[in-house]
Amino acid sequence: MKVLIIYATNSGSTYEVTKIIESVLDRKHTVTVQKAAESKPADVLGVDLVLFGSPSWRVGGVEGQIQEIMQEFLDSAKGKLPRGFKFAVFGCGDPDFTHFCQAVDTIVERLKKEGGALIFEPLKIDGFYFHLEN
């Protein structure tokens, strides 16, 4: 199976999670990892599964926002993704914020509206950055 992981990160947590996911999937699948800033909607073509990773961030005083570079990718992808493409979403967050990993839920809803098929429950990771050794 061809898997594409598109991620955006601020503190590095989402990148670290991306590398862990890649190392597990790479055992049985062909995995490509790309920064959201370097990705185009056409990259999704010919891929069996796309994983999207983004932290939830405070933007303009509003908690739970999609990381800005991932937001730019999603905006550029509007109306350009193939109908029925399979996807999953993961993200890191802090449960002390009102909207824990809200970006994950927002990405899921946006990709469903684009005709994507969510095939795994979203993965919301709590406090990962503070416990990298685990």
- First CA to last CA across the chain, in angstroms? 28
Torsion sign over Cα 34, 129, 70, 21: positive
Rounded CA separation 72/96 (Å): 26
- Of 88, 97, 89, the C-alpha closest to 64 is 97
Whether this prediction's pTM lies above 0.85 is answered by yes
What would the pLDDT profile of 20-75 be if each residue is shown by its tens digit? 999 999 999 999 999 999 999 999 999 999 999 999 876 666 677 888 999 999 99
Stated as kind and residue range, the H or E segment containing 118 is strand 117-118
Angstrom distance (rounded) from CA 108 to CA 113: 9
Q: Tokens for 46?
A: 């010919």
> Which stretches of the chain are DSSP H helices?
13-25, 68-77, 102-113
93 forms beta bridges with 126
Confirm if 61 and 25 have CB atoms less than 8 A apart: no
pLDDT for res 134: 55
How many angstroms separate the CA atoms of 65 and 32, rounded? 26
pLDDT at 64: 73
